């Protein structure tokens, strides 16, 4: 006699219908991005073979760039790249953090969407606009501030300049076109990206924990310090590193502001510096075959640096508590 007991229905985890189409499409897009990124890296690596075979590891330590003398190296531009990015993050990090905290915790609800749109709009401004802003508006004032730093902190090698800071007529040309001036312009370019990541992470803070801190008598700042900031630590680090990756590769704004120089020096206030991206943009048009290979090698180094920085940022955000519901 057949049993009347119902049999459980088998459940399948395989996507069907529209879900299956979406899954295949998403995987195809992700695989395409990986293939394109890998193809760019493979192309740059292949183009770097002639340069590395000719100059060896000395290409990374040589500071001069003299194609006519067959002397090429990126030691100076690597130092300049790091200097400009360091100055940019010095200004961008506190601004991005404070802006994200204000928008997420202090701004009125009616004003918050407008502030978010304004910050996002900053990311849409072309690089050349920031470069012109930095050259015509920021640089004269940055030069005066550089002189002040040289007068009061010149005993620190970072703020020293080969000029007399107490001269009757100060030489302004010694304080323009520097890594400091370029870094200020780049800071405004990386601020929206870092701020967006931090703000998104702060918005994921559990409301219950915030209300519990306030219920225990904490002030608004006390709640932020004890709940929001610890929860968003991963987002703060990740957003900063993503901004650093952008700062390392910025080109046009840096090229407009700096006075190109191929000297390894830690003096960020002094005229003359260079970066990998500015070197490529400035020398690409009239480069010979050998010089073009060297420029592509420099681009390959910059590609690896930014890839590592951005990957570390994504890993930090995804592994943090705040990154559980946040896509970096």
pLDDT at 55: 87
pLDDT at 99: 94
pLDDT at 3: 58
> What secondary structure does DSSP assign to 48-81, as a single string?
HHHHHHHHTTHHHH---EEGGGTEE--HHHHHHH
pLDDT at 234: 83
Let me know the angle formed at the C-alpha of 152 by 150 and 156, rounded to the nearest 5 degrees. 65
Comparing C-alpha atoms, which of 325, 324, 309 is closest to residue 237? 309
pLDDT at 131: 92
- Does residue 56 sit within a domain? no
Range of the domain at 169: 80-322
pLDDT at 323: 47
Bridge partners of residue 72, in order along the sequence = 65
pLDDT at 123: 87
What domain count does the chain have? 1
- Does residue 7 sit within a domain? no
- Does residue 57 sit within a domain? no
Compute how many other C-beta atoms are within 10 angstroms of the C-beta atom of residue 314.
16
- Does residue 27 sit within a domain? no
CA–CA distances in Å: residue 219 to residues 34, 82, 101, 189, 225: 47, 39, 15, 33, 10
Question: From its phi and psi, is residue 217 left (phi > 0), alpha (psi between -120 and 50) or beta?
Answer: left
pLDDT at 4: 66
pLDDT at 322: 53
pLDDT at 21: 83
Enumerate residue ranges in the chain where pLDDT < 70.
Answer: 1-4, 9, 11-12, 15-17, 320-328
Compute how many other C-beta atoms are within 10 angstroms of the C-beta atom of residue 18.
8
**Which residues, at least 6 apart from 50, have a Cβ–Cβ distance to it below 8 Å?**
290, 293
- Does residue 65 sit within a domain? no
pLDDT at 80: 93
- Does residue 41 sit within a domain? no
pLDDT at 166: 83
* CATH code, domain with 132: 1.10.3720.10
pLDDT at 232: 87
- Does residue 3 sit within a domain? no
Q: Write the pLDDT tens digit of every residue in 145-196.
A: 999 999 999 899 899 888 888 887 888 888 999 999 999 999 999 999 999 9
- Does residue 68 sit within a domain? no
């Amino acid at each position: 006699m057949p049993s009347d007991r119902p049999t459980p229905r088998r459940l399948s985890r395989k996507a069907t219908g529209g879900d299956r189409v979406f899954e295949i499409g998403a995987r195809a897009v992700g695989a395409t991005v990986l293939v394109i990124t890998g193809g760019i890296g493979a192309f740059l690596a292949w183009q770097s073979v002639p340069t590395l075979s000719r100059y060896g590891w000395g290409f990374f330590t040589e500071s001069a760039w003299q194609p006519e003398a067959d002397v090429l190296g990126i030691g100076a531009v690597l130092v300049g790249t790091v200097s400009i990015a360091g100055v940019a993050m010095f200004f961008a990090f506190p601004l991005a953090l404070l802006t994200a905290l204000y928008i997420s915790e202090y701004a009125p609800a009616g004003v918050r969407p407008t502030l978010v749109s304004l910050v996002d709009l900053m990311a849409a401004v072309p690089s050349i606009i920031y470069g012109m802003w930095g050259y015509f508006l920021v640089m004269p004032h940055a030069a005066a501030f550089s002189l002040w730093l040289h007068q009061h902190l010149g005993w620190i090698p970072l703020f020293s300049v080969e000029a007399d800071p107490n001269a009757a007529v100060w030489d302004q040309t010694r304080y323009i076109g520097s890594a400091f001036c370029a870094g200020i312009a780049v800071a405004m370019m990386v601020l929206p990206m870092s701020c967006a990541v931090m703000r998104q992470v702060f918005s994921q803070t559990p409301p219950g924990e915030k209300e519990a801190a306030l219920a225990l008598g904490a002030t608004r700042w006390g709640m932020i310090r004890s709940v929001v900031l610890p929860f968003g630590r991963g987002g703060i680090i990740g957003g900063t590193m993503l901004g650093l990756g952008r700062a390392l590769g910025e080109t046009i704004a840096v090229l407009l502001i700096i006075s190109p120089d191929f000297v390894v020096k830690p003096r960020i206030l002094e005229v003359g510096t260079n970066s990998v991206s500015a070197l490529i943009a400035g020398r690409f048009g009239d480069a010979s075959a050998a010089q073009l290979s060297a420029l592509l090698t420099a681009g390959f180094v910059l590609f690896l640096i930014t890839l590592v920085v951005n990957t570390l940022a994504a890993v930090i955000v995804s592994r943090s508590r705040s990154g559980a519901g946040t896509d970096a």
